Structure 1
Amino acid sequence: MSGPHELFERMRSHWFGLAEGEAEGEGDLLADDVVLEMPFAPPGTPGRVQGREEVLAFVTPRRAALPARLDGFRLLAVHETADPEVIVVEYELTGVATRTGRRASLPFVGVLRARDGRVALWREYQDTAGIARALGAG
């Protein structure tokens, strides 16, 4: 059974995979009642999505429409918590905005809760203003 460390490594290759088609099978990582939370979601974007099908329906088209080509992932830190099912991860994604050609690296923080070998919670903190600037929208 996968704990939070193993799950994050699998998420990294599926969700943050840099090669085409790596997202295939990502639904297998998610608990039926998974919760995706984005406390700093931009206006018009829900801050919480619950359920495997709902999460996949939310993230799949957004990822496909992202006006950037991701080409780098760097793990900055993994923090243990008092709960063995939960880790906090700091990472950085690097890429190029396809509209502007602008290269950027942006930091993220995620909270991962594992349950029964699957992702039960993914809470991601994003620098939405930094993302907008990197994409040439801000």
Structure 2
Amino acid sequence: MPTSPPPADLFRRSLRLLLDKDIAGWVRLWDDEGVLEFPFAPAGWPKRLEGKAAVHAYMRDYPDHIDLHDFPDLTIHRTGDPATIVVEMRGVGRLVKSGDLFDMTYIAVVTVTDGRFTHYRDYWNPLALPQDGAADFAGSAR
């Protein structure tokens, strides 16, 4: 009987897929009923996406807006629940339209069941985006 990868391994794989701009592959890591939440989302931005289809609709154009180059700082913490990890990370790259530097620090609380993301709370700061880049990305996020 095959075993599912530990949550930390699945998360690392998901970052590789984002760097490769393989959004379809990234979405395949999601459970059909998975939930993606953005607790700090500003008005007009989604705060909660329910289901793989909603996650895909939100992420499908991501590489057209943010060209990720690396996740130079990554720390994955185990929790008392073996299915849940807390991730501290930094993503760097460029905003495609403006060419501005993209440098974002994230904290995520991620739960994995049977080798798929089932719940992902993404604590990113939209105020850290350059203002012209934020307007471009906000349009893609709605």
**Higher mean C-alpha displacement, 128-137 vs 2-11:** 128-137
Determine if the alignment matches structure 1 residue 125 to structure 2 residue 84: no
Contact 1:104/1:134, CA 8 A, preserved across alignment: no
Which residue is 1:85 aligned to? 83
Equivalent residue pairs, number? 132
Question: What 5-or-longer segments of structure 2 have no aligned partner?
Answer: 136-142
Measured on the aligned residues, the alpha-carbon RMSD in Å equals: 2.0
Which residue is 1:58 aligned to? 58
Q: Greater share of helix residues, 1 or 2? A: 2
Q: 2:109 aligns with which of 108, 111, 115?
A: 111
Measure, in 1, the Cα distance between the counterparts of 2:76 and 2:5: 16
Q: 1:75 aligns with which of 73, 76, 99?
A: 73
* Alignment TM-score, normalising by the size of structure 2: 0.81
Instruction: Please list the CA deviations of residues 10-65 of structure 1 after superposition, one character each: whole Å capped at 9, or x if unmatched.
Output: 11112x31x34x2232232111110000001122112101111121112213x144
* Alignment TM-score, normalising by the size of structure 1: 0.83
Question: What 5-or-longer segments of structure 1 have no aligned partner?
Answer: none
Which residue is 2:139 aligned to? none
Measure, in 2, the Cα distance between the counterparts of 1:104 and 1:52: 26
Q: Structure 1 runs of 4+ off > 4 angstroms?
A: none
